[in-house]
C-alpha cells in the first residue's frame, strides 16, 4: 500500500521517457499461450498488472522469465488457470480465455474483476466465442467455454476492446475464415494483431473496424516490442498543460494521441513533433467539451485526468462519459479540494478557475488516482493521496518519478 504526498508545483519542464503500454502488453502476454514455442516481449513495463498476468500465465502452465527488460514466455502445454485470485483481481485476465479455448478446446475460469468503473460484463466475449462454435456454461460460479472452433461472421454490438482481442486470438487457430465486424480499433488491438502476425497468424484489416482472420494449424514463437503508452504520455501532457510547462515526451506516438492533442491545442497548448518525440508548451486556458468514445474518439482512460486540468481553466467545461457508467468517482475527491463540479448522470459540468486546496484523498481506480495526483500538483498546500489498493502501480510505471523528473513536488511514501 502506497501513499503519495504532493505540493503545489510550478511549471513542469524537461524530458521524460514514455514506457510501454500496459494495455498492449497484457493481451500480447495472453497471446503467448497460443503457441508452445518461446515468445519474447521486449521493453516490459514494471507494473503490478504485468506481474499479475505473469502469475496467471504460470498458473495456465506457462513458464515465464525475465531477461533484462524482456519477458520470455513459453507455454509448452496449457491448462485451466488455477490463480483464481488473479482472475478476480484483474479485468484483463479474461484475455486468457480465447487463447486457452483455441489451443486446448476448453477454458474454465472465474469471472474477471478489475477497476470498479462500471459493471464490465463479458457478454460480447462469450457471444462471439459461441459464434465460433464454443459452448458456454456456468459451473459453480465459474465459466466454462469449450469446443472446437470454426471460423464465423461476428458482429459486435459494441466495439469492445477486450472482446475484439479475445475473439481475434481465438480465431487465429479456428478452422476457416472469421470476420469480426464493428471490431474495436484501438492502437493496442492493432499491436496485438501485429504480434499475432509475427507468430504466423493471418489477419487482414488491422487497424480497422473489420478484421478478417484466416485460421492456421498452429502458431510459432515470436519476438516483439509493444507500442508506447498513449495514456501515460497523455497524463504527462496534461500535467504540463495544466502548469504552463514545456515538456518533451520521448518515444510518444502522437498518431495515437490525436483526440487529446486536439482538445489541448484548442485550449491553447502548442505541440511540436520531432525525431525525439512530442514536445508541448503553453497552458490549457480555454474550457473544453469532451465526449469519450471508442478510438479514434477521445479515450475514456484520459477523462479523469483531463477533468483535473479543466478545474484550472476559467469557464464551463463539459464531459460526457459514454463508455463506462461509473467513471466519475474522482469527482468527489476533486470537489473535496474545492473544485466546482456537478455530475448529472453521464455528464460532468466543471466550473473551472476556482483554486484547489490540498486535502487527504483516497484513490478509487487507476485513472482517478492519476487525476488526483495532478490535482495535488495544482493545489495550494499539501495533498495526501492514499492508494490502499495500489491502483497507480497497477498501470503507471513510476508516474510520481516521472513527474518529479519534470520538477513536480510529488513523493511516494511506502
Ligand atoms: C479496455 C482497457 C481499458 C479501457 C477500455 C475502454 C485494457 C486492459 N483495458 O478495457 O483501460 O478503459 O478498454 O477503452 O485494455 N462491455 C460489455 N460487454 C462486454 C465487454 C464490454 O457490455 O462483453 C462494455 C463494458 O462494460 C464497457 C464498454 O463495453 O462499458 C467498454 O468495455 P471494453 O471496450 O471491453 O473495455 P475493456 O476491454 O474492459
Q: How confident is the model at residue 199 (pLDDT cuts 50, 70, 90)?
A: very high
Whether residues 247 and 173 share a domain: the answer is no
Phi-psi category of residue 67: left, alpha or beta, with phi > 0 → left and psi -120 to 50 → alpha: beta
Task: Please name the residue whose Cα sits nearest to atom 29 of ligand 1.
Answer: 160
Q: Quick: pLDDT tens for 294-353.
A: 999 999 999 999 999 999 999 999 999 999 988 999 999 999 999 999 999 999 999 999
- The answer to whether 211 touches 203, Cβ cutoff 8 Å, is yes
Using most ligand atoms within 8 A of CB, pick from 161, 166, 191, 395 the residue to mutate for ligand 1: 161
Beta bridge partners of 412: 4
Q: Which of 224, 245, 276 is the last residue of a domain?
A: 224
Q: Which of 224, 252, 268 is the last residue of a domain?
A: 224
Mean pLDDT score, 278-283? 97
Whether residues 220 and 233 share a domain: the answer is no
Q: Which of 175, 190, 224 is the last residue of a domain?
A: 224
Whether residues 62 and 109 share a domain: the answer is yes
Lowest-pLDDT range of 237-241, 285-289, 389-393: 389-393
Whether residues 379 and 338 share a domain: the answer is yes
Exposure string of 76-109, with b = 16+ CB inside 10 Å and e = fewer, is: eebebbebeebbebbbbbbbbbbbbbbbbebbbb
First to last CA, the chain: 7
Mean pLDDT score, 195-208? 98
Whether residues 206 and 71 share a domain: the answer is yes
Reduced to 3 states, what is the DSSP secondary structure of residue 41?
A: strand
Question: Per the structure, how many domains does the chain have?
Answer: 2
**CA geometry: angle at 259 spanning 257 and 262, to 5°?**
105
Cell of 65: 522469465
Looking up residue 163, the CATH number of its domain turns out to be: 3.65.10.10
Whether residues 233 and 219 share a domain: the answer is no
- The answer to whether 87 touches 297, Cβ cutoff 8 Å, is no
Whether residues 220 and 324 share a domain: the answer is no
Atom of ligand 1 nearest to the CA of 158: 29
Reduced to 3 states, what is the DSSP secondary structure of residue 37?
A: coil
Phi-psi category of residue 104: left, alpha or beta, with phi > 0 → left and psi -120 to 50 → alpha: alpha
CA atoms within 13 A on the CB side of 23: 17
Whether residues 246 and 219 share a domain: the answer is no
Whether residues 139 and 152 share a domain: the answer is yes
Pocket of ligand 1 (CB under 6 A): 23, 26, 91-92, 118-125, 158, 160-163, 184, 188, 300-301, 323-324
Task: Please name the residue whose Cα sits nearest to atom 22 of ligand 1.
Answer: 121
Whether residues 256 and 154 share a domain: the answer is no
Mean pLDDT score, 350-360? 96
pLDDT value at residue 116: 57
Q: Is 153 exposed, middle or buried (0-12, 13-18, 19+ CB in 10 A)?
A: exposed
Whether residues 13 and 148 share a domain: the answer is no
Whether residues 138 and 57 share a domain: the answer is yes
Structural domain containing residue 96: 22-224
Helix (H) or strand (E) holding 347: strand 347-352
CA distance 10 to 87: 42
pLDDT value at residue 84: 77
Mean pLDDT of all residues in the chain?
A: 95
Who contacts 40 (Cβ-Cβ below 8 Å, separation ≥6)? Answer: 67, 70, 71, 72, 73, 221, 222, 223, 224
pTM of the entire predicted model: 0.97
Amino acid at each position: 500500500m502506497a501513499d503519495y504526498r504532493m505540493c503545489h508545483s510550478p511549471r513542469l519542464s524537461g524530458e521524460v521517457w514514455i514506457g510501454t503500454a500496459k494495455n498492449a502488453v497484457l493481451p500480447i502476454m495472453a497471446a503467448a499461450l497460443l503457441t508452445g514455442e518461446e515468445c519474447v516481449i521486449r521493453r516490459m513495463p514494471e507494473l503490478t498488472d504485468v506481474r499479475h498476468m505473469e502469475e496467471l500465465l504460470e498458473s495456465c502452465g506457462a513458464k515465464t522469465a525475465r531477461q533484462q527488460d524482456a519477458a520470455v514466455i513459453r507455454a509448452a502445454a496449457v491448462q485451466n488457470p488455477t490463480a483464481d485470485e488473479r482472475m478476480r483481481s484483474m479485468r484483463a485476465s479474461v484475455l486468457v480465455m480465447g487463447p486457452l479455448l483455441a489451443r486446448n478446446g476448453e477454458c474454465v475460469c472465474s469471472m474477471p474483476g478489475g477497476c470498479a468503473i462500471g459493471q464490465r460484463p463479458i457478454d460480447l466475449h462469450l457471444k462471439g466465442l459461441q459464434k465460433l462454435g464454443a459452448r458456454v456454461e456456468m459451473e459453480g460460479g465459474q465459466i466454462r467455454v469449450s469446443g472446437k472452433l470454426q471460423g464465423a461472421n461476428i458482429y459486435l454490438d459494441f466495439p469492445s476492446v477486450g472482446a475484439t482481442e479475445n475473439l481475434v486470438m481465438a480465431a487465429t487457430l479456428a478452422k476457416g475464415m472469421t470476420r469480426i465486424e464493428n471490431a474495436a480499433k484501438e492502437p493496442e488491438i492493432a499491436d496485438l494483431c501485429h504480434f499475432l502476425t509475427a507468430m504466423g497468424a493471418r489477419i487482414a484489416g488491422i487497424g480497422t473496424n473489420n478484421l478478417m482472420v484466416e485460421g492456421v494449424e498452429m502458431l510459432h514463437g515470436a519476438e516483439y516490442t509493444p507500442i508506447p503508452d498513449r495514456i501515460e504520455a497523455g497524463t504527462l501532457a496534461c500535467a504540463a498543460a495544466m502548469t504552463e510547462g514545456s515538456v518533451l515526451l520521448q518515444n510518444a506516438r502522437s498518431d495515437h494521441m490525436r483526440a487529446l492533442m486536439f482538445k489541448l491545442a484548442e485550449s491553447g497548448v502548442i505541440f511540436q513533433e520531432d525525431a525525439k518525440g512530442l514536445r508541448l508548451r503553453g497552458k490549457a486556458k480555454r474550457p473544453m467539451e469532451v465526449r469519450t468514445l471508442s478510438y479514434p474518439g477521445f479515450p475514456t482512460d484520459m477523462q479523469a485526468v483531463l477533468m483535473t486540468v479543466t478545474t484550472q481553466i476559467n469557464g464551463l467545461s463539459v464531459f460526457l462519459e459514454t463508455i463506462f457508467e461509473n467513471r466519475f468517482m474522482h469527482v468527489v475527491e476533486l470537489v473535496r479540494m474545492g473544485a466546482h463540479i456537478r455530475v448529472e448522470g453521464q455528464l460532468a459540468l466543471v466550473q473551472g478557475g476556482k483554486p484547489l486546496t490540498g486535502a487527504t484523498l483516497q484513490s478509487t481506480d487507476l485513472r482517478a488516482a492519476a487525476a488526483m495526483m495532478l490535482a495535488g500538483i495544482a493545489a495550494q498546500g499539501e495533498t495526501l493521496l492514499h492508494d490502499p489498493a495500489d491502483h497507480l502501480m497497477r498501470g503507471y510505471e513510476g508516474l510520481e518519478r516521472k513527474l518529479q523528473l519534470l520538477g513536480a513536488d510529488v513523493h511516494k511514501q511506502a
